[in-house]
Amino acid sequence: MPHARQRRFFSLDQFQSPWPMLLALVASIPAFYDSLMPTPASWAAAMYVVSGALVLAFAWRQMRHARRNLSAPHAGSETRTRTRWRLGARVDWPLGTALLLCAALPPSSQSASALGWRMAVAFATLVRLVLISKPLFERAGLARLLGMAAAVLGLCGIGFYWIDPEVTSLSSGLWLAFSTAATVGYGDVVPSNTASRIFSVFVVLLGYGILSLVTASVAAMFVGSQERKVERDILRDMHQQIKSVTQEIAALRQSIEEMKQAQQTDTTAKSPPSSAEPRI
């Protein structure tokens, strides 16, 4: 029994954790922005290699499980799930290869073509990151969304503090991350270099989306409470009406029973006594 539970937990049909893929994709983000620095660090290429290798390993694992499970007869919904995972693996093959190629290109600060290639790969990485993290946001409560929003804005603030020389404190980086994600743009702190401006694009795409989810969750909470109040009022009225109808039916039934008893009494009182026949 424990072995069966373990196989079911790690099976592609029942469970597919997005965390390995998420970590692999997030690992390429610091490498992308470090390549924009005037003097890139040596670990940027290594991060691209690690990210690409993990994505390829994840794609190979998905493809292997999908081929193995598609050979057996299954229900239609389960077959569609396996087909979706196989299609995801096919997308991950070129993405992992592109990440490995980013490690071999010259620094983005020295080559415009390398910068264009890395930006295209970064957008593809962002799209894949959003798609694979979608289950984490589905049916997520307000507390989880607030935690995710705080984590995203915190990481974005650290990113601004790291790549922008004009952001001299972490608090300024956090403020710039929030104002950028919320599309407020007060103008007191602004991106000052190319890397920071490119980073702002991703902050808007990712931060604005998660802040919108938080706002929608708060609005849904108030709307849901109002709907529940209306439902309770309707149910209360229905219960009162049902109770009233039940009492009326009981009273009507009692009146019918009393009328039947009265009719039987009248019939018994009006019937003549039976006379015995004389014997001969």
SS3 letters for 163-184?
HCCCCCCHHHHHHHHHHHHCCC
Classify residue 70: in a domain, yes or no.
yes
For residue 109, give the 3-state DSSP assignment.
Answer: coil
Cα 237 → chain centroid: 37
pLDDT in the model for residue 126: 82
Same domain, 125 and 219: no
Classify residue 38: in a domain, yes or no.
yes
State the CATH number of the domain containing residue 201.
1.10.287.70
Q: Would you say residue 240 has pLDDT above 80?
A: yes
Distances (CA, A) of 210 to 12, 29, 74, 240, 279: 28, 18, 36, 44, 109
Q: Would you say residue 13 has pLDDT above 60?
A: no
Mean of per-residue pLDDT scores for the chain: 77
Same domain, 58 and 103: yes
Query: Last residue of a domain, which of 119, 137, 155?
Result: 137
| Euclidean distance between CA atoms 154 and 168, whole angstroms | 16
Same domain, 218 and 253: yes
Q: Average of pLDDT values for 111-123? A: 87
Side-chain-side CA neighbours of residue 219 (13 Å) = 6
Classify residue 280: in a domain, yes or no.
no
pLDDT in the model for residue 138: 65
pLDDT in the model for residue 175: 92
Same domain, 110 and 91: yes
Task: Strands of 70-197 (E only): list them.
Answer: none
Same domain, 102 and 65: yes
* Tokens coding 138: 């589905």
Same domain, 78 and 185: no
Q: Average of pLDDT values for 60-88? A: 60
Same domain, 149 and 187: yes
Question: What are the pLDDT digits (tens) for 163-184?
Answer: 888 888 888 999 999 988 888 8
Number of domains making up the chain: 2
| Euclidean distance between CA atoms 177 and 186, whole angstroms | 12
Classify residue 231: in a domain, yes or no.
yes
pLDDT in the model for residue 79: 52
Query: Last residue of a domain, which of 92, 112, 137?
Result: 137
Side chain identity at residue 239, one-letter code: H
* Tokens coding 129: 């990151």
Same domain, 168 and 245: yes
pLDDT in the model for residue 10: 36
Same domain, 73 and 104: yes
| Euclidean distance between CA atoms 53 and 24, whole angstroms | 8
| Euclidean distance between CA atoms 246 and 173, whole angstroms | 68
Side-chain-side CA neighbours of residue 207 (13 Å) = 25
Q: Would you say residue 14 has pLDDT above 70?
A: no
Band of residue 85 on the pLDDT scale cut at 50, 70, 90? low
Same domain, 184 and 133: no
pLDDT in the model for residue 3: 45
Query: Last residue of a domain, which of 110, 137, 164?
Result: 137
Closest CA to 164 of 188, 187, 198: 198
Q: Residue 225 is part of which domain span? A: 139-261
